[in-house]
């Protein structure tokens, strides 16, 4: 079974890491190395960690640095066994869909008048430049384990990712869903980028500001105003 440390090394050696691997946090022995090692240690202690190592950096692998146009920022991967796949809020598996994703699709339908997709796989979004990022890249699987890796060291890595996108990419829309995501707002240069902040789409909070926030149409409108093509949500 692969380790998170080995998966990190493999990712950084791959063409998919172009742009991302230049960040200081991905240098040998820096923050990403320590976070991956901490995830490995948690698994060695008997905990099941998600997503699998080979999917832990899928958000970066699927959306190259120089292609980022939208960032959707969540908290951490789904802790429900089998749900996490490395893309925030995405799900690849049989029905039913995770409830947060059901709410995302409900808001998408209300916002755009489009029917819900048949699949929970958000890879098509990622391939259009939507960085599906969580503030932590791993989590312990199981009930009540949400947030279990928020202090594992991934925050330093994802802060650097957000800062780099804000600094080097033009015209990016940041969708900050939930309090952990909104706590990163200070890393974003809002004179150059657009922030749409709302409650998390979780059933616990979606009715407190996620529903009705119209993130998809608002993101596209802002992109189009700047001559950028819209996202096919």
Question: What is the three-class DSSP state of 191?
Answer: coil
**Residue 50: what are its φ and ψ, rounded to 5°?**
-130, 155
Determine the angle formed by the axes of helices 31-44 and 154-168, rounding to 10 degrees: 150
CA gap 52, 186 in Å, rounded = 31
> Among 37, 175, 58, which residue's Cα sits nearest to residue 108?
175
Q: Quick count: other Cβ atoms within 10 Å of Cβ 204?
A: 12
Of 40, 42, 76, 111, the active-site residue reads: 76
Q: Examine the residue annotation and report whether 76 is marked as an active-site residue of this protein.
A: yes
Q: Which residues are the active-site residues?
A: 76
């Amino acid at each position: 079974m692969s380790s998170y440390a080995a998966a990190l090394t493999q990712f950084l050696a791959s063409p998919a890491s172009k742009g991302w691997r230049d960040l200081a946090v991905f240098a040998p022995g820096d923050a990403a190395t320590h976070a991956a090692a901490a995830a490995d240690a948690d698994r060695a202690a008997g905990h099941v960690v998600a997503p699998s190592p080979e999917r832990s950096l899928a958000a970066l692998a699927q959306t190259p640095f120089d292609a980022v146009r939208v960032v959707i920022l969540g908290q951490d991967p789904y802790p429900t066994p089998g749900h996490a796949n490395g893309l925030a809020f995405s799900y690849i598996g049989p029905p039913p869909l995770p409830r947060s994703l059901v709410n995302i699709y409900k808001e998408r339908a209300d916002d755009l008048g489009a029917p819900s997709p048949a699949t929970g796989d958000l890879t098509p979004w990622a391939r259009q430049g939507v960085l599906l990022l969580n503030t932590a890249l791993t989590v312990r699987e199981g009930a009540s384990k949400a947030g279990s890796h928020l202090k594992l060291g991934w925050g330093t890595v994802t802060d650097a990712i957000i800062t780099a996108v804000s600094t080097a990419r033009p015209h990016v829309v940041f969708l900050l869903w939930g309090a952990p995501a909104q706590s990163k707002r200070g890393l974003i240069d809002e004179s150059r980028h657009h922030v749409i902040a709302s409650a998390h789409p979780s059933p616990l909070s979606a009715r407190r500001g996620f529903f009705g926030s119209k993130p998809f149409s608002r993101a596209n409108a802002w992109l189009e105003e700047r001559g950028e093509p819209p996202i096919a949500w």
